[in-house]
Chains A and B, each alone.
Chain A
Amino acid sequence: MGLIAIRSIPTIKRGTLFELLFLAGSLFMLFIAGSNPVVTSFATVFSGIVLEALPFMLLGSLAGGLIEVYVSRERLLSRLPAKTWRLVLVAAALGFVCPVCECAVVPVAKRLLGKGMPVPAVIAFLLGAPLVNPIVGISTAVAFSFNVPVALLRLVSGYLIAVAAGLIMGRLYPDKSSLIVDKADTHLHNPSCGCELGDGYHLKSHHSRHGLMNAFRHASADFIAVAQFLVIGAFIAALFQTVIPRQSLAHFTTSPVSAILVMMALAVALNICSEADAFVAASFRFVMPFSAQFAFMLLGPMLDIKLVLMYTGLFRKRAIAMLSICVAAMVFLAVCSLHYLVPKGIWG
């Protein structure tokens, strides 16, 4: 009888179990310790991150839905360079034409992937667009007292790392199926789409409705698929911001390498928007060397907690780990080179 009872309990995916546990823990924290000033401060920061990111993520989802409905695979591929490396060079700089933040870029990248854009180009777009764009350039220059070389250095370094990461990942994972998750590999599973709306939806209604309404449905499905990762990432980032005193970072500034590593870790943990992170980096001017501040600005838009979680809707876990290591290593090497090879005083 007992065995039968156990077998009758439905199995739950590991990811869903994690989400349920996260939900239960979060509710416990918010309700049980609600009046505590620490929790109030946490709730304010958490809400702020989500409130700021939400419009951009909705916009990104809408752009993805419009691409899905109005841009055919053939039309997209016919307008892109044929050679992958050329496409990577273009994709990493797309932020200049269409400046998007890291919250908006994932749904768009998912749709581009579904339309047949090569994976190295999609990775270059994912990493490059939030960093290599005019808004980030201007905000960086302003944050560093209108120091244009700092802004240019950031954009150029970000572009080169995005291109290199795209090409390396393409070389490491020549087989597309070993890199991306099934849901993202849309055209293989469903010739027209690949969203999570379900087969019934596609069979009965996908092509029978108004195009704009279809775009909204796809956008909504994309948003639901990715928004949970934004919330979880924002939650963890707010926890870091609330609990860890920034003064404690001063203990790690004994050597440039440790300062760079600490600021890289901080960039991953804080999840600050790429348009604002230069101001936070500059506020560390009298605590950290410039190279450490630069590491913070370079890594944050490419790799942070919420981005890694959102990548799980696109790439396999092993590929995400490899991409994270690849990006972090390149940022570390680039910034160490800057620190040890460029004479001090040049960057202000």
Chain B
Amino acid sequence: MGMRPPPGIKRQSVFTFIYIAWWITLLSFVLSGAYRSFIRPSFVVFLWGALVILLAFIVSGVLETTDRRLRVEDIARGGILLLPLMALWMAYGKPLGSYAYMKKTITAQNPSAAMTLKRRLNTPASKPSAQPELRGKSEPPAQHELRRNNMPAPLKVTILDLLNRPQEYQGKLIAVEGMAMRQETFSKDANSNPEAELPGSFILFRFLIVCCVADSQPLGLIVDSTKAESVADNDWYRVTGRFALNKEKMGVISHAAISKLETPPDPPYLYESVGFQPGPSPK
């Protein structure tokens, strides 16, 4: 039933070649740290284990002399085993972005997936004593505050810190990094919450990962800034401003100063862990 292969080519030779291709790719991803765009950093130990086992397979394949000839089904299998390598190189240095954010956001109140996470971690929902005015005049803009010498330096936190313990950061001056998604992109989503779509605002988001990008969950904040129009989808920014929860219990950074990051955070994702790593305590 099998198509005759070119004479002399053994099945094991082809699969040994595939193992070598996998081994080189895995090693380069491990050494360069590029694997962190796909799985959590601590899983590198498993990749080293995979490299050792693949090396053993390569050695056993090279020493093999009695294997049968190549058939059509072997060519199909080999091609399928090479597919992930192509995908890996295609996705090299391209973490999940705004498209994945929209697809993975669960509830109608974008970006309330973050709030889901907060409640899951059993953090009591924060009830701000006074609802922050997103465009209020009573509070001076953060840009102006930063220029004053007597103002405290912003607390460097992650989106996960803010959404895990919002009550601790309520009203504080914070600095947080993330990817941007413009309101125009966001508004294309039919289920987005109109109340979240304030003019002069954009969404700052990152993904939270347990094991790999397949289980990633979007975490987002609304950023209110006069420079919101200048941000570009999927670019990385550092945002400095006052943090608060709005009446929809969404995290909002108001009167924000934004600066584009030339190099994205490494790794690009945030990671779930038992007793998550706390950020700095607000003063």
Q: Give residues in A with beta carbon < 8 Å to B.
A: 10-13, 15-16, 19-20, 22-23, 26-27, 30, 34, 37-41, 43-52, 54-56, 58-59, 61-62, 138-139, 142-146, 197-198, 200-201, 204-205, 213, 216-217, 219-220, 223-224, 227-228, 231-232, 234-235, 237-238, 241-247, 249-250, 270-273, 275-277, 279-280, 282-287
Q: How far is the CB of A270 from chain B (nearest CB, A)?
A: 7
- Cβ–Cβ contact A272 & B215, under 8 A: yes
- Cβ–Cβ contact B2 & A10, under 8 A: yes
Select which of A26, A54, A139, A223 is within 8 A of B83 by beta carbon: A26
Give the docked Cα–Cα distance between A43 and B96 (Å).
Answer: 10
State whether the Cβ of B28 lies closer than 8 Å to any Cβ in chain A.
no
**20 pairs, CB–CB < 8 Å, chain A vs chain B:** A10-B4, A12-B1, A16-B72, A43-B90, A44-B91, A52-B214, A55-B43, A58-B50, A232-B80, A235-B83, A241-B104, A246-B103, A247-B191, A250-B108, A273-B212, A276-B212, A279-B215, A282-B120, A283-B113, A286-B107
Contacts of B73 in A (CB 8 A): 13, 15-16, 19
- Cβ–Cβ contact A47 & B106, under 8 A: no
B 27-45 binary contact with A (CB < 8 Å = 1; else 0): 0010000010111000100
Known: A16-B72, A205-B66, A276-B210. A228 touches B81 (CB 8 A): yes
Main secondary structure of the interface of A (DSSP, over half): helix
Select which of B61, B67, B81, B91 is within 8 A of A47 by beta carbon: B91
Select which of A30, A59, A250 is within 8 A of B87 by beta carbon: A30
Contacts of A205 in B (CB 8 A): 64-66
- Cβ–Cβ contact A200 & B66, under 8 A: yes
Select which of A44, A49, A143, A271 is within 8 A of B37 by beta carbon: A44
- Cβ–Cβ contact B103 & A287, under 8 A: no
- Cβ–Cβ contact B90 & A10, under 8 A: no
Give the docked Cα–Cα distance between A134 and B59 (Å).
Answer: 35
Residue of A nearest to B16 (CB): A220
Contacts of A287 in B (CB 8 A): 106-107
Select which of B46, B94, B116, B189 is within 8 A of A286 by beta carbon: B116
- Cβ–Cβ contact A49 & B91, under 8 A: no
- Cβ–Cβ contact B217 & A44, under 8 A: no
Question: Interface centre among B2, B96, B103, by most A CB within 10 Å?
Answer: B103
Residue of A nearest to B29 (CB): A51
- Cβ–Cβ contact B90 & A30, under 8 A: yes
- Cβ–Cβ contact A201 & B3, under 8 A: no
Residue of A nearest to B60 (CB): A216
Contacts of A272 in B (CB 8 A): 214-215
State whether the Cβ of B134 lies closer than 8 Å to any Cβ in chain A.
no
State whether the Cβ of B53 lies closer than 8 Å to any Cβ in chain A.
yes
Select which of B57, B102, B112 is within 8 A of A223 by beta carbon: B57
- Cβ–Cβ contact A283 & B214, under 8 A: no
- Cβ–Cβ contact B214 & A41, under 8 A: no
State whether the Cβ of B99 lies closer than 8 Å to any Cβ in chain A.
yes
Question: Interface centre among B73, B84, B116, by most A CB within 10 Å?
Answer: B84
- Cβ–Cβ contact A213 & B84, under 8 A: no
State whether the Cβ of B63 lies closer than 8 Å to any Cβ in chain A.
yes
Chain B, interface size: which category? 35 or more
Question: Interface centre among A48, A145, A200, A286, by most B CB within 10 Å?
Answer: A48
Give the docked Cα–Cα distance between A40 and B212 (Å).
Answer: 16
Give the docked Cα–Cα distance between A144 and B121 (Å).
Answer: 7
Give the docked Cα–Cα distance between A196 and B216 (Å).
Answer: 37
Known: A245-B103, A250-B107, A273-B212. A48 touches B38 (CB 8 A): yes
- Cβ–Cβ contact B72 & A43, under 8 A: no
Contacts of B130 in A (CB 8 A): none
State whether the Cβ of B279 lies closer than 8 Å to any Cβ in chain A.
no
Contacts of B121 in A (CB 8 A): 145
B 93-111 binary contact with A (CB < 8 Å = 1; else 0): 0111101101111111000
Known: A41-B96, A216-B60, A224-B15. A52 touches B77 (CB 8 A): no
- Cβ–Cβ contact A56 & B113, under 8 A: no
Contacts of B29 in A (CB 8 A): 51
Contacts of A56 in B (CB 8 A): 46
State whether the Cβ of B211 lies closer than 8 Å to any Cβ in chain A.
yes
State whether the Cβ of B213 lies closer than 8 Å to any Cβ in chain A.
yes
Contacts of A286 in B (CB 8 A): 106-107, 112, 115-116, 119
Known: A48-B213, A237-B214. A246 touches B106 (CB 8 A): yes
- Cβ–Cβ contact B97 & A145, under 8 A: no
Contacts of A145 in B (CB 8 A): 120-122
Give the docked Cα–Cα distance between A205 and B61 (Å).
Answer: 13
Give the docked Cα–Cα distance between A38 and B105 (Å).
Answer: 16
Known: A145-B120, A277-B215. A58 touches B90 (CB 8 A): no
Give the docked Cα–Cα distance between A56 and B45 (Å).
Answer: 12
Give the docked Cα–Cα distance between A286 and B249 (Å).
Answer: 13
Q: How far is the CB of B62 from chain A (nearest CB, A)?
A: 11
State whether the Cβ of B282 lies closer than 8 Å to any Cβ in chain A.
no
Give the docked Cα–Cα distance between A145 and B122 (Å).
Answer: 6
State whether the Cβ of B56 lies closer than 8 Å to any Cβ in chain A.
yes
- Cβ–Cβ contact A49 & B212, under 8 A: yes
- Cβ–Cβ contact A276 & B211, under 8 A: yes
- Cβ–Cβ contact B54 & A58, under 8 A: yes
- Cβ–Cβ contact B274 & A198, under 8 A: no
Contacts of B76 in A (CB 8 A): 16, 19-20, 23, 228
State whether the Cβ of B47 lies closer than 8 Å to any Cβ in chain A.
yes
State whether the Cβ of B272 lies closer than 8 Å to any Cβ in chain A.
yes
